[in-house]
Structure 1
Amino acid sequence: MEKWLVVLGIWAMCAACAVLFIRGATGGSSRREEVEERTRAASRASAGNTRTALND
């Protein structure tokens, strides 16, 4: 029985790591769009407004 608990624990840890890895690898799609919008706004700003554009 003890051996089965160890094996089950290892499998559970592997499954949890796989789920967290997949979620981390695919969770940035909405963040990427926000970063692109900020980059466009900063590139349109004049030299005097660069600090303001970066803080937005």
Structure 2
Amino acid sequence: MEKWLVILGIWAMCAVLFIRGATGGSGKRTAADGRARPASRASAGDVRAAAND
């Protein structure tokens, strides 16, 4: 009986970690969408050229 409790506990931990790992990416994506996107190199070059003129 004790052996089965250990096996069940290890299986439950693996299942929880797998589920957390599989669903963790969606939260990170929504946090990244709220930030401003960086300017591309081409538009940054235009800003530098306009500032130099």
What RMSD over aligned residues (CA atoms) do the two structures have, in Å? 2.3
Deviations 1:3-51 (A, max 9, x none): x11111001100111011001101221211234556x713xx14147xx
- Aligned residues with identical type, % of pairs: 47
Distance 2:34 2:8 in 1: 42
Tell me the TM-score normalised to structure 1 length.
0.55
Please, which runs of 5 or more residues in structure 2 have no aligned partner? Answer: 46-53
Aligned length: 43
Report 1 or 2 for greater relative contact order, CA contacts < 8 Å, sequence distance ≥ 6. Answer: 1
Please, which runs of 5 or more residues in structure 1 have no aligned partner? Answer: 50-56
Which consecutive segments of 4 or more residues in structure 1 shift more than 6 A?
A: none
The structure with the largest alpha-carbon Rg is: 2
